[in-house]
Structure 1
Amino acid sequence: MRKITAGMFISLDGIIADPQDWHFPYFNDEMGEGVSTLAAAADTMLFGRVTYDGFAGAWPEREAAGGEDAGFAKALGDMRKVVFSHRDLELSWRNSEQPRGDLVAEVTALKAEEGGDITLSGSTSIVRQLLAASLIDELHLFVHPIVLRNGGMRLFDEGTPIPLQLLSATTFKTGVLHTVYGPADKPADVSYDEAKKHIAQ
């Protein structure tokens, strides 16, 4: 079974929108390594339409330009890219495809195939649906020490609670906290009478 990892840049108040406006001051070697690790073992990348358009509008040009990030751009280009959308898309970036079936069913089938890991970067709607279906094995949250207070899109919307377990946590020199979560069983129902036993007297 292939592993699915998802990575998100997120503020202290839970905002994930427009990271290009607030994320880059916190990008250092530790962040670069953390982001690169997500794609290192993967040969397939999942996208929603908006994130795909952003990637496809930038990375092919960076690969062609041959700059410092050309190697990473080529690796992204060589990956299999699976793009989910309710509308028919014209996919210009090489190795891109658009499934026609249900998202959860398609990703479940992808997980069962032979191959390397499957990864996502951004694509909030896809992450939400896969989390709800317990299909994401590792959710990497890069929590930035900033409160944006701008009412932007948040990763977690209203709906049924999704229990997770903390797999690891690393603090970067910039103050960014790299946390990794995996699926967890629903916690037991515990009342205050039971919980108060753990309060120091």
Structure 2
Amino acid sequence: MSFNIALSGVSAAQRDLDTTANNIANVNTVGFKESRAEFGDVYAQSLLAGGKTKVGDGVLTQEVAQQFSQGSLQFTENALDLAVTGTGFFATVPDIDNRDFSYTRAGAFKLNSDNFVVNSNGDHLLGFPVNTDGTSASVALSTTEPVTIPDSSGSPSATSEVSLTMNLPAGEEAVDPALFDPD
């Protein structure tokens, strides 16, 4: 029996090593969250054995748990590379009309040919609808819509009036306004 107890320890150490190796292999994977192997003691009791002398039957891997601590943010040249600070996920769907949500911490996004924001799998990023003043119209996941970037922002119009307020250094020498040349 003690041989099986020792084997459980070797098996648990192997699972811990596998978990650490996976963390190292994915160290530069966008949005990757490390895992931690969690273990528990194995005890067995028979009706005829005394409970005070039982030493245990080894160890068992209870769970390989993901750790959601904040990682470091890295700046990129892509304006659509996003990051989640704190808790939360990006919600994505495979098609515009699909409501089969997937959740990710990986924020490497780009535009597709229809100007929708998508990830490398082509899944559409979802966003909450906004009011005209920029506030969120809803925070229910059922109201989210695929995010699209318009290719125009409206028709330009000439500025008709400008209001300007300035603060100039008081200790400077005065300049003659007649010397001002706007050209």
TM range, smaller chain: under 0.3
* Structure whose alpha-carbon radius of gyration is higher: 2
TM-score computed with the length of structure 1 as normaliser = 0.22
* Structure with higher helix content: 1
TM-score computed with the length of structure 2 as normaliser = 0.24
